[in-house]
Amino acid sequence: MLDRVLSDTDITSALAKAEALDILNLIFPDSKFLITEYVWDELDRSKQEGFDFPIKYSTSVKVQR
């Protein structure tokens, strides 16, 4: 199984908004999810604008920048 998975903003935000982030952990158990600095900045910008899905993502999956 994969030990690291690269995640983009589209899948991250869509699953977080749908409260379905557990799907990632089911598909990729024991994996760390990598995000680029660009994706991190996008999620951070959304958090600053008042959206809560970036917080859900960072607490639901093991993220490595």
- pLDDT tens digits in sequence order for the chain, 65 residues long: 678 888 888 887 888 888 888 888 899 888 888 888 888 888 888 889 998 877 777 666 666 66
* Residue 50 confidence (pLDDT): 92
* Residue 64 confidence (pLDDT): 61
Which is it for the CA torsion 55, 50, 27, 32, positive or negative? negative
* Residue 54 confidence (pLDDT): 76
* Residue 56 confidence (pLDDT): 73
Coil, helix or strand at residue 51:
coil
> What predicted TM-score, i.e. pTM, was given to this entire model?
0.66
